[in-house]
Amino acid sequence: MLRIAVAGYGNVGRGAYEAALAAKDMQVVCVAEAPNVPVPGALAGMWVTRLKDINKFGGVDAAILALPSRMSADAADELLSMGINTVDAFDAHEEIWATKCRLDATAKIHGVTAVISAGWDPGTDSVIRALFEAMAPNGLSYTSFGPGMSMGHTVIAKAVRGVKNALSMTMPAGAGIHRRMVYVELDEGAALDAVAAQIKSDPAFSHDETHVIAVEDVKALLNVAHGVEITRAGVSGSTHNQSLAYSMKINNPALTGQILVSAARAAVKGEPGCYTLLEIPIIDLLPGEREELIKRLA
- At 215, which CATH number? 3.30.360.10
- State residue 63's pLDDT score: 98
The H or E element that residue 26 is part of is: strand 26-32
List the domain range (segments joined by +) for residue 162. 142-226
Q: Is residue 167 part of a domain?
A: yes
Shared domain check, 113 and 59: yes
What pTM value is reported for the model?
0.91
Residue 112 is part of a domain; what is its CATH number?
A: 3.40.50.720
- State residue 183's pLDDT score: 98
Q: Is residue 137 part of a domain?
A: no
- State residue 174's pLDDT score: 87
- Count of domains observed in the chain: 2
Q: In what order do the strands lie in the sheet with 138-145?
A: 138-145, 225-236, 239-251
Q: Is residue 29 part of a domain?
A: yes
Q: Could you give the count of Cα atoms lying within 13 Å of 113 in the half-sphere of its Cβ?
A: 18
Shared domain check, 25 and 114: yes
Longest Cα pair distance anywhere in the chain, in angstroms?
64
Shared domain check, 210 and 269: no
Shared domain check, 107 and 203: no
At 281 the three-state DSSP class reads: coil
Shared domain check, 93 and 23: yes
Q: Is residue 136 part of a domain?
A: no
**Regions of the chain where pLDDT drops below 70:** none
- State residue 229's pLDDT score: 97
Residue-wise pLDDT for 244-254, tens only, equals 999 999 999 99
- State residue 58's pLDDT score: 86
Q: Is residue 298 part of a domain?
A: no
Shared domain check, 155 and 9: no
Shared domain check, 117 and 257: yes
- What residues pair up with 163 in beta bridges, in sequence order? 186
Shared domain check, 96 and 47: yes
Shared domain check, 275 and 216: no
